[in-house]
Amino acid sequence: MSTTMRALLGATALCMASGMALAETLTIATVNNGDMIRMQGLTEDFTAKHPDIQLEWVTLEENVLRQRVTTDIATKGGQYDVMTIGTYEVPIWGKQGWLVSLNDLPAEYDVDDLLPAIRGGLTVDGNLYAAPFYGESSMVMYRTDLMEKAGLTMPEAPTWDFIKQAAIAMTDKAGEVYGICLRGKAGWGENMAFLTATANSFGAKWFDMDWKPQFDSEPWANTLNFYLDLMAQAGPPGASNNGFNENLALFQQGKCGMWIDATVAASFVTGADSTVADKVGFALAPDNGLGKRGNWLWAWSLAIPAGSQKTDAAKAFVAWATSKEYLALVAEKEGWPNVPPGTRTSLYENPEYQKVPFAKMTLDSINSADPTHPTVDEVPYVGVQFVAIPEFQGIATAVGQQFSAALAGQTSAADALAAAQALTTREMTKAGYIK
């Protein structure tokens, strides 16, 4: 019996061995967003320069990607030579010594050209642990025609009160136009990214200096009540299941008056798939006059796991994918609006790129975010729309479910906040932050 099995297994193993090539093969884990997929189409440029390196792509949806790469790096599984990770992972992983330092990239890479806010988010104790592939903040995207119809003018830096006024004025539920589309789908990277950033502008914070959760504070109640009221008056139906994608589809179909979301969305809403491409304006994320705006900071970045045997080849790839030359290559093949944004100062100094309608607003948004001082009050954590501790994903997803339930009308704002406070306290006690 076992001989049969061994024979079969052996045969399978043999099949696989014969498929092995001689050149060094890099396995790259990436997220399936537009910029990354575009890069896959341009790899010939890299392999032409490095004929001895072959690239093997593993493209996954964001949640699956995170789950795969985290399991792999934490268990030292060694499945990937280059990993796509975000500003949330870099500080945690860097501290663990799981990533290869990129301080020794060649001079022509010009590391000083990286935007300071982004670079700061990817640096731990003076070591750059990941190279930014694209960076994003969040901003207001709005329909210029609807704004005009409502008789209003969008200021460059609006307040939340103005946003509410405009959203209600633009709403025409019978005509399926909703004044504002915001994230509602539960998830730490979905509604909680938006709500945490928004809470910052309302003066709220996740934890005080003793790591005590703050959902029972007034600023959080103000944040959530404002959000729920705004969505009830001017939001689309089904908002509690809308994430980035759903809102993008709504906006592109002309059903949203305003949308506050990632700056990368700008190239989609003004792109070919959009029915409103020529009627979109941009503004900074709103504030409440407390000194913090409700915008976040994120950078999808390329990092090399510390255990990799192919560090040199991996570095060559990371340097290529995040270089100035790569930006120029995309510009040449696909046009300036499709260049991965938000990583390099030189891009924003390029007169060609300055013609792109959303270039300036993207840069201003990124520059106005400060991951090291995200809130009005002093806090013990870094990260704008997240708290860079390992427990955050799980806690924020559970809190996100509560807020999503409040948006769906299944629970009240007060109950959702109380539940959030209770569960966060529980998890923080369990994890040993609260003694």
Partner 1 sequence: MATKASRSAARLMISPAVILLLAWMIVPLSLTLYFSTLRYNLLMPGMEEWAGFSNYYYFLTDPAFFDALRNTLVLVGGVLAITIVGGVLLAILLDQPMWGQGVVRVLVIAPFFVMPTVSALVWKNMFMNPVSGLFASLFKTLGLQPFDFLAHAPMFSIILIVSWQWLPFATLILLTAMQSLDSEQLEAAEMDGAPPLKRFWFITLPHLARAITVVILIQTIFLLSVFAEILVTTNGGPGTATTNLTYLVYAQSLLQFDVGGGSAGGVVAIVLANIVAIFLMRMIGKNLDA
Partner 2 sequence: MARAVTNRRKTIATAAAWTIGFLIFFPILWTVLTSFKSEADAIASPPKFLFFDWTLENYATVQERSNYFRHFWNSVVISVGSTLIGLAIAIPAAWAMAFVPGKRTKDVLMWMLSTKMLPPVGVLVPIYLIFRDTGLLDTRTGLVIVLTLINLPIIVWMLYTYFKEIPADILEAARMDGASLRSEILYVLTPMAVPGIASTLLLNIILAWNEAFWTLNLTAAKAAPLTAFIASYSSPEGLFYAKLSAASTMAIAPILIMGWFSQKQLVRGLTFGAVK
Binding stretches for partner 2 (CB under 8 A): 1, 4-5, 8-9, 12-13, 15-16, 19, 27, 29, 32-34, 37, 40-41, 56-62, 64, 67-68, 71-72, 75-80, 243-246, 248-249, 252-253, 264-265, 268, 273
**Mask: binding to partner 1, 289-328, rule CB under 8 A, as x and -?**
----------------------------------------
- Which DSSP category does 305 fall into? B
For residue 255, the one-letter residue type is K
Token output for 355: 């013609």
Q: Of residues 22, 75, 112, 151, which one binds partner 1 by CB under 8 A?
A: 75
Whose Cβ is closer to partner 1: residue 140's or residue 419's?
419
For position 196 contacting partner 1 by CB under 8 A, the verdict is: no
Whose Cβ is closer to partner 1: residue 32's or residue 253's?
253
Whose Cβ is closer to partner 2: residue 185's or residue 315's?
185
For position 12 contacting partner 1 by CB under 8 A, the verdict is: no
For position 103 contacting partner 1 by CB under 8 A, the verdict is: no
Helix axes 62-74, 89-96, angle to 10 degrees: 10
For position 383 contacting partner 1 by CB under 8 A, the verdict is: no
Provide DSSP, 211-270. --B-TTSHHHHHHHHHHHHHHHHHPPTTGGG--HHHHHHHHHTT-EEEEEEETTHHHHHT
Token pair 């990260």 is found at: 383
Which of partner 2, partner 1, none binds 214 (CB below 5-8 Å, type-dependent)?
A: none
| Contact criterion met (CB below 8 Å) for 115 and 240 | no
**Which residues, other chains included, contact 345 with Cβ-Cβ below 8 Å and sequence gap of 6+?**
113, 114, 115
For residue 274, the one-letter residue type is S
For position 236 contacting partner 1 by CB under 8 A, the verdict is: yes
- Which DSSP category does 172 fall into? B
**Which residues, other chains included, contact 108 with Cβ-Cβ below 8 Å and sequence gap of 6+?**
none
Whose Cβ is closer to partner 2: residue 179's or residue 187's?
187
Q: Of residues 79, 397, 425, 433, which one binds partner 1 by CB under 8 A?
A: 397
Q: Of residues 306, 408, 418, 434, which one binds partner 1 by CB under 8 A?
A: 408
Closest CA to 239 of 176, 193, 182: 182
- Which DSSP category does 332 fall into? H
Q: How far is the CB of 410 from partner 1 (least distance, A)?
A: 6
Task: Report helix, strand or coil for 288.
Answer: coil
Residues within the interface to partner 1 (CB under 8 A): 1-2, 63, 67, 70-71, 74-75, 92, 96, 176, 185-188, 236-241, 246, 249-250, 253, 255, 390-391, 393-395, 397-398, 400-402, 404-405, 407-408, 410-411, 419, 422-423, 426-427, 430-432
